[in-house]
Amino acid sequence: MLFAIDRINEDDTLLPNVTLGATILDTC
């Protein structure tokens, strides 16, 4: 999932002027 977010953020044609992020929670 993080790989996909990085790829989307690098491609300006996919989502111009948008930056995606993720919050990782450790719930062990």
How many structural domains are present in the chain? Answer: 1
- Predicted model pTM: 0.52
- Tens digit of each residue's pLDDT (9 = 90 or more) over 1-28: 788 888 888 888 888 888 888 888 888 7
CA 24 to chain centre: 12
Report the distance separating Cα 1 and Cα 11, nearest Å. Answer: 16
Do residues 1 and 22 make contact, with C-beta atoms less than 8 angstroms apart? yes
Q: Which helix (H) or strand (E) holds 8?
A: helix 2-10
pLDDT value of position 27: 83
Q: For residue 11, report the phi and psi dihedrals to the nearest 5 degrees.
A: -95, 100
Domain range for 2 is: 1-28
